[in-house]
Amino acid sequence: MPPARLDGQVRVTRNGPLITISLHGCLDANAGVELLATLQGQIDAAPPRIDVDLVAVEAWTPEGARSLRRARSLAQNLSDGLHFRTTTGVGHEALLAAFDEAQTEP
Protein backbone atom coordinates (compact mmCIF):
# COMPACT_ATOMS: atom_id res chain seq x y z
CA MET A 1 0.00 0.00 0.00
CA PRO A 2 1.42 3.46 -0.84
CA PRO A 3 2.60 5.57 2.12
CA ALA A 4 0.34 8.25 3.63
CA ARG A 5 0.54 11.69 1.98
CA LEU A 6 -0.05 14.71 4.18
CA ASP A 7 0.68 17.60 1.81
CA GLY A 8 -0.92 19.14 -1.27
CA GLN A 9 -4.58 19.44 -2.23
CA VAL A 10 -5.23 15.71 -2.01
CA ARG A 11 -4.04 14.02 1.18
CA VAL A 12 -4.21 10.38 2.23
CA THR A 13 -4.32 9.04 5.78
CA ARG A 14 -4.91 5.55 7.15
CA ASN A 15 -6.39 4.30 10.38
CA GLY A 16 -6.30 0.51 10.32
CA PRO A 17 -8.24 -0.62 7.26
CA LEU A 18 -9.91 2.80 6.79
CA ILE A 19 -8.35 5.03 4.15
CA THR A 20 -9.31 8.70 4.09
CA ILE A 21 -8.59 10.92 1.10
CA SER A 22 -9.07 14.55 2.10
CA LEU A 23 -9.35 17.44 -0.33
CA HIS A 24 -8.06 20.91 0.54
CA GLY A 25 -8.55 24.26 -1.17
CA CYS A 26 -10.20 24.40 -4.57
CA LEU A 27 -11.80 21.29 -6.03
CA ASP A 28 -11.14 22.11 -9.68
CA ALA A 29 -10.29 19.97 -12.70
CA ASN A 30 -6.67 19.50 -11.59
CA ALA A 31 -7.63 18.50 -8.05
CA GLY A 32 -10.26 16.17 -9.52
CA VAL A 33 -7.66 14.41 -11.66
CA GLU A 34 -5.38 14.09 -8.62
CA LEU A 35 -8.29 12.75 -6.55
CA LEU A 36 -9.13 10.08 -9.12
CA ALA A 37 -5.49 9.02 -9.53
CA THR A 38 -5.06 8.82 -5.75
CA LEU A 39 -8.31 6.91 -5.38
CA GLN A 40 -7.27 4.39 -8.03
CA GLY A 41 -3.95 3.87 -6.28
CA GLN A 42 -5.73 3.18 -3.01
CA ILE A 43 -8.31 0.88 -4.64
CA ASP A 44 -5.47 -1.18 -6.10
CA ALA A 45 -4.50 -2.04 -2.49
CA ALA A 46 -8.02 -3.56 -2.01
CA PRO A 47 -9.23 -1.77 1.13
CA PRO A 48 -12.78 -2.49 2.28
CA ARG A 49 -13.73 1.19 2.50
CA ILE A 50 -12.46 4.62 1.47
CA ASP A 51 -13.72 7.94 2.81
CA VAL A 52 -13.40 11.17 0.82
CA ASP A 53 -13.31 14.11 3.20
CA LEU A 54 -14.62 17.36 1.68
CA VAL A 55 -14.63 19.46 4.88
CA ALA A 56 -11.56 21.54 3.87
CA VAL A 57 -12.80 22.33 0.34
CA GLU A 58 -12.97 26.12 0.00
CA ALA A 59 -14.15 26.44 -3.62
CA TRP A 60 -15.17 24.18 -6.49
CA THR A 61 -15.75 24.14 -10.22
CA PRO A 62 -18.20 21.96 -12.18
CA GLU A 63 -15.27 19.90 -13.47
CA GLY A 64 -14.05 19.30 -9.94
CA ALA A 65 -17.53 18.33 -8.77
CA ARG A 66 -17.82 15.82 -11.61
CA SER A 67 -14.74 14.04 -10.26
CA LEU A 68 -16.78 13.14 -7.16
CA ARG A 69 -19.31 11.35 -9.32
CA ARG A 70 -16.53 9.56 -11.19
CA ALA A 71 -14.99 8.58 -7.87
CA ARG A 72 -18.20 6.81 -6.88
CA SER A 73 -18.14 4.81 -10.11
CA LEU A 74 -14.45 3.99 -9.73
CA ALA A 75 -14.97 2.68 -6.18
CA GLN A 76 -18.17 0.73 -6.79
CA ASN A 77 -16.57 -2.63 -5.98
CA LEU A 78 -15.25 -1.76 -2.51
CA SER A 79 -16.90 -4.13 -0.04
CA ASP A 80 -17.83 -1.36 2.43
CA GLY A 81 -18.05 1.33 -0.22
CA LEU A 82 -16.94 4.87 -0.82
CA HIS A 83 -18.17 7.43 1.71
CA PHE A 84 -18.14 11.22 1.48
CA ARG A 85 -17.60 13.35 4.61
CA THR A 86 -18.99 16.88 4.55
CA THR A 87 -20.38 19.60 6.74
CA THR A 88 -22.58 22.49 5.72
CA GLY A 89 -20.57 24.56 3.27
CA VAL A 90 -18.63 24.45 0.06
CA GLY A 91 -17.72 20.73 0.09
CA HIS A 92 -21.35 19.82 0.65
CA GLU A 93 -22.41 22.10 -2.22
CA ALA A 94 -19.87 20.45 -4.56
CA LEU A 95 -21.17 17.00 -3.62
CA LEU A 96 -24.79 18.02 -4.20
CA ALA A 97 -23.88 19.56 -7.55
CA ALA A 98 -22.00 16.43 -8.63
CA PHE A 99 -24.95 14.16 -8.09
CA ASP A 100 -27.66 16.66 -9.08
CA GLU A 101 -25.90 16.95 -12.43
CA ALA A 102 -25.93 13.14 -12.73
CA GLN A 103 -29.74 13.21 -12.52
CA THR A 104 -30.04 15.63 -15.45
CA GLU A 105 -27.69 13.86 -17.86
CA PRO A 106 -29.27 11.83 -20.68
> For residue 1, is pLDDT > 70?
no
Q: Does 93 reside within a domain?
A: yes
**What pLDDT is stored for residue 80 in this prediction?**
94
Total domain count, the chain: 1
Q: Does 2 reside within a domain?
A: no
**What pLDDT is stored for residue 93 in this prediction?**
95
Q: Does 33 reside within a domain?
A: yes
* Rounded CA separation 15/62 (Å): 31
The angle formed by the CA atoms of residues 42, 48 and 52, to the nearest 5 degrees, is 55
pTM, two decimal places = 0.86
* Rounded CA separation 94/97 (Å): 5
**Confidence label for 5 from pLDDT (cuts 50, 70 and 90):** very low
* Rounded CA separation 61/81 (Å): 25
* Rounded CA separation 55/44 (Å): 25
Answer yes or no: are the C-beta atoms of 22 and 56 closer than 8 Å.
yes
**What pLDDT is stored for residue 102 in this prediction?**
55
- Domain at 73, CATH number: 3.30.750.24
pLDDT in tens, 11-25: 999 998 899 999 999
Q: Does 4 reside within a domain?
A: no
Q: Does 3 reside within a domain?
A: no
> For residue 65, is pLDDT > 60?
yes
Phi then psi for 18, rounded to 5 degrees? -85, 125
**What pLDDT is stored for residue 3 in this prediction?**
44
Q: Does 43 reside within a domain?
A: yes
Phi then psi for 3, rounded to 5 degrees? -70, 160
Q: Does 71 reside within a domain?
A: yes
Range of the domain at 26: 10-104
Q: Does 61 reside within a domain?
A: yes
